[in-house]
A and B are shown apart, each in its own frame.
Chain A
């Protein structure tokens, strides 16, 4: 699984968002919008899931975009073209159900913008009217604006610090849109607090909402249950039952807490391996 290209999409001090294109022809041939791969950078590494953002079936290439947050994503960001990963497996999870819903709003926050991109493209191809809201902390961390502009009927950009686009949060724009007009579907990916806020907003407006959950995983093939989430009080595994779920059925508080289980260990290991 060789990397063929690497681009740093955004960088401000410690925060870096990186794109890699990887030769993985078998995965490229099968992967659909909404699915993910699991990778290991090295033999002693962790298995982490990453959404497949783009695919070139002819060249057998898949694209991944990630923020260098934990040790594994930092190690991944250190690799360059011609480096190989220890393991890549996929496509995992169910693909997004692509059909003509009508008017769709896609909400992407931070690196979640990368994850709404393949879904936005597929929705567009299925004839949907696409309104996209993307948001970042600051202008320098905003990714895929041009790509999303070309496939969206309407694009809204927000930054927390007003350095670009509108000042505020994606949910502010979402609320304005929902007040003004009727939409058939909202699709959101981003930090858990953002998705949670989107969910409570759209619940008030009674709009069906899908979210792609970023639960922690190990094998990602349904074998371990690490990624279990409560959906309508029923236990589901994000890896094989998801990663997408109806936002209004998700137990957000539980997910938020479970995703912090290894925060301490992550800090500890990042200190031990100063990658950059």
Chain B
């Protein structure tokens, strides 16, 4: 048995930055087989507890070793409606791979030896995407509808990871589901946030089409809270509502000069490129400005995505790539996934640690030209458990830039909650739920994803959505 896990192949950094092609390849059959064979098939597998949707990891891996790829595909689908998405975007190193028995107990993230469960999941998912016709998929995945569920109708608000997952679960149990989405295309953050080089659009479209084949209706261009209130949805015959609203409002730092031209929130920058196709301007009509020197502020996955998109835009426009990530703490405290940090470094993105922006300075037309920062040192751990950055007096310095992207986190979007006073919110304006059922303060209204408890991962959102779907099924049956 190989000691360390088999790495999936990747496009070379120099070729991948010339476009938006997917960076990480799918395992070949040989790679999948040898990685699957490394699995110890523990009697009491610890990996499953690390998965927010409790995929039977042991079973699907053994199915791969037997070349029963279809079996593996449906083993995953039983718990996770989106194997090809999660196999790509799950931070497995903090989840299933971390609890894999091959990772030392107490380690903060997965060891090199841990089974590459997410690559195997993706292999099975992509196999299914290629080999299972959508119709055949649906029959295999469906649970016969029981009793009252057959006539029940549920509204899902938002088509991001939580909404899609909840809709899929309900539809699989024979419940009629209508998803309402504000934007013109479904997918939420999977479409506007995550760039195609991490999650190709055909993968996203396949998984969404699968839901449609299950009978889920998706209504785009529909703002619940503006066109219809929750009460109106109930009056129109919906028996329950699931709110997967996301953490849809970008945070800014509140420093002088933040509204200068060419300073973007990461959400705006990524939405222009990923959702609106600005990287294909002028074929697509939405513009985005591309600078000679871009500074991205933040240390999460969104910051990595924004930086890597900015670099590609420069490269595509024959500008010498110059993208810099400024982060207040050090690499150890960065919330971004390790592989994404590595990818960003390989692609030539510069990292500046322990710097805190203090001001943006512009020219007389109002365009950003410089950023003024303070150097930091690390102090005692804060409430997040990470060491707090402390700005050092007198350490000010300036750095030139003509594009700045702010990726310092998101807040709750209040378009719906602001007009629905019966929904109890916490101090962050997130929706309060019963953690067992995900039911909100309003009867038959459930919530999950980033609008509950703030920013999390795709799979955590799906975990909440599944819990809510189970509670909705129990209530309606």
Question: Chain A interface (Cβ within 8 Å of chain B)?
Answer: 26-27, 30, 40, 44-47, 71-72, 86-92, 218-219, 221-226, 228-230, 235, 237, 240, 251, 253-254, 257-258, 260-262, 265-266, 268-269, 272-273
Of the residues B192, B268, B282, B366, contact of A258 by C-beta under 8 Å = B366
Docked pose: A87 CA to B226 CA in angstroms: 16
Interface segment among B91-99, B104-112, B284-292, B301-309: the answer is B284-292
Given A222-B248, A261-B262: A89 and B286 within 8 A (CB)? no
Docked pose: A40 CA to B272 CA in angstroms: 14
Contacts of A218 in B (CB 8 A): 268, 271-272, 276, 286
11 contacting pairs across A/B (C-beta < 8 A): A46-B285, A71-B285, A90-B227, A219-B183, A219-B192, A222-B249, A223-B250, A224-B250, A235-B258, A254-B259, A272-B282
Docked pose: A27 CA to B366 CA in angstroms: 37
Question: Chain B interface (Cβ within 8 Å of chain A)?
Answer: 182-184, 192, 220-223, 226-228, 248-250, 252, 254, 258-259, 261-262, 264-265, 267-268, 271-272, 276-277, 280-287, 289, 365-366, 413-415
Task: Tell me if A46 and B286 are in contact (CB < 8 A).
Answer: yes
Which of B222, B283, B415 is the most central at the interface, judged by chain A CB atoms within 10 Å of its CB? B415
- Across the two chains, which residue of chain A brings its CB closest to B416? A221
Task: Tell me if B365 and A221 are in contact (CB < 8 A).
Answer: no
Report the minimal beta-carbon distance from B291 to chain A, rounded to whole angstroms. Answer: 12
Task: Tell me if A225 and B252 are in contact (CB < 8 A).
Answer: yes
Task: Tell me if B221 and A224 are in contact (CB < 8 A).
Answer: no
Task: Tell me if B261 and A269 are in contact (CB < 8 A).
Answer: no
Contacts of A91 in B (CB 8 A): 226-227
Docked pose: A260 CA to B363 CA in angstroms: 14
**Taking chain A's interface residues, is the majority helix, strand, or loop, or is none over half, making it mixed?**
mixed
Task: Tell me if A269 and B259 are in contact (CB < 8 A).
Answer: no
- Across the two chains, which residue of chain B brings its CB closest to A234? B254
Docked pose: A46 CA to B183 CA in angstroms: 12
Task: Tell me if B285 and A86 are in contact (CB < 8 A).
Answer: no
Docked pose: A92 CA to B220 CA in angstroms: 15
Contacts of A253 in B (CB 8 A): 366
Cβ-closest 9 pairs across A and B: A257-B366, A224-B268, A265-B287, A89-B221, A87-B184, A225-B265, A269-B282, A223-B248, A46-B285
Report the minimal beta-carbon distance from B306 to chain A, rounded to whole angstroms. Answer: 12
Contacts of B250 in A (CB 8 A): 223-225
Which of A229, A254, A257 is the most central at the interface, judged by chain B CB atoms within 10 Å of its CB? A257
Report the minimal beta-carbon distance from A14 to chain B, rounded to whole angstroms. Answer: 20
Since A251-B259, A258-B366, A261-B289 are in contact, a sample of 15 more A-B pairs with Cβ atoms closer than 8 Å, ordered by chain A residue number, is A26-B228, A44-B285, A89-B184, A218-B271, A218-B276, A223-B249, A225-B249, A226-B265, A235-B258, A254-B259, A260-B365, A260-B366, A265-B282, A265-B287, A269-B287
- Across the two chains, which residue of chain A brings its CB closest to B183? A219
Task: Tell me if B365 and A257 are in contact (CB < 8 A).
Answer: yes
Docked pose: A197 CA to B258 CA in angstroms: 25
Of the residues A44, A219, A261, contact of B271 by C-beta under 8 Å = A219
Task: Tell me if B182 and A225 are in contact (CB < 8 A).
Answer: no
Docked pose: A100 CA to B331 CA in angstroms: 59
Task: Tell me if A265 and B281 are in contact (CB < 8 A).
Answer: yes
Contacts of B285 in A (CB 8 A): 44-46, 71-72, 269
Docked pose: A60 CA to B258 CA in angstroms: 42
Task: Tell me if A88 and B289 are in contact (CB < 8 A).
Answer: no
